Amino acid sequence: MDANSRRYIEAALTRRIIGAFYETYNLLGHGFLEGVYENALALEMEAQGIGFVRQASLEVRFKGKCVGIFRADFLVEGKVIVEIKAVEHLLPAHDAQLLNYLKATNIPLGLLLNFGPKAQVRRRIY
């Protein structure tokens, strides 16, 4: 698969994930804890046939050695790390968290989804 085909597939996948996010947000609104949104988003992605691992354990490697393990909210089809928040506004620390996850795993694409008073989506590439 060439780079253009891969980008097209990943763009289509992120559109599907974002669509599931907005469907979830539109039905629930804001004000719940993050765990409620995680449960609902999992149900919506499952209903839409999007493959994912919830609370995926991913290793942080340093010089070829595992130095820690973190849990991503979702690892979608092995290609996209999805982190969800339920905060008033996304902060630079939230972006940094996602970028560090991408860097640590060599997964190049991530989505930061906020179920705050205003729905927010940030797409990050490492």
pLDDT tens-place string over residues 61-81? 889 899 999 999 999 999 999
Q: Are strands 80-85 and 109-115 parallel, antiparallel or unpaired?
A: parallel
pTM score over 0.85: yes
pLDDT tens-place string over residues 88-120? 999 999 999 999 999 888 899 999 999 999 999
SS3 109: strand
Q: How far apart, in Å, do the first and last CA atoms of the chain sit?
A: 20
Residues making up the chain, counted from first to last: 126
- What are the structural domains, with CATH classification, of the chain? 3-125 (3.40.1350)
